[in-house]
Amino acid sequence: MASLKLVVRPFVLALLHAIFLFSSSVLSDGDVAGMVLAGLNSHRTFLGLPAFTDNENADCLAGKIALNVLMDQQCDTASDNSVELDKYPELLSDCGIYINQTKDGVILPVCVATLVPTLVLTNYTYTHFANYINDWRFTGAGIGSGGDWMVVVLSTNTPEGSFGLFTK
């Protein structure tokens, strides 16, 4: 059984990559984000995990981080891709998110020249980011991009990780 998984997994992932490669080469950022989310969900489904639900607040935050924090950074000069949300309260406010609803979430930024979907997906499924993508605790995702940067924000279904709307 274990050897079957070793044979099937590369085949399924190669099939996913082929689908992305043969799709239109002129894609909008939204198309790339949708393709990456579909690829991540296929990957999770193959692993027996539930697909991510689209989290609109996480989408907003991912887009703001990509455009306002990372977009001007060069791929080859960005040594630390971590984003500390407490340094960007205005981004949370713009998306209507309360900081206490982000503690269980995670922000995963990758830089890929021209955001080639297969390479972006590989950066999430074959690097240290796979630990988060493959974690059953994450149930929602938001995706945004800016320049050569793609940001995936993973949310949970807990109050501390829902990226829920700020309420007074």
Positions of the chain with pLDDT under 70:
1-30, 76-82, 85-86, 160-162, 165-168
Question: By the 8 A CB rule, do 17 and 102 touch?
Answer: no
Question: Which pLDDT score, from 0 to 100, does residue 158 have?
Answer: 76
Q: What is the pLDDT of residue 10?
A: 57
pLDDT score recorded for residue 27: 44
CATH topology (fold) of 2-155: Pathogenesis-related Protein p14a (3.40.33)
Q: Are 12 and 121 a contacting pair, CB within 8 Å?
A: no
pTM of the predicted model as reported, rounded to 2 decimal places: 0.78
Angle between helices 2-21 and 29-46 (to 10 degrees): 170
Question: Which pLDDT tens digit goes with each residue over 123-151?
Answer: 999 999 999 999 999 999 999 999 999 99
H helix or E strand, kind and range, residue 81: none
Structure-token match 């239109």, residue found: 24
Rounded Cα gap, residues 108 and 110, in angstroms: 7
For residue 126, what are the CA distances in angstroms to 18, 71, 73, 131, 146?
Answer: 16, 23, 23, 9, 22
Q: Which amino acid is at 111?
A: C
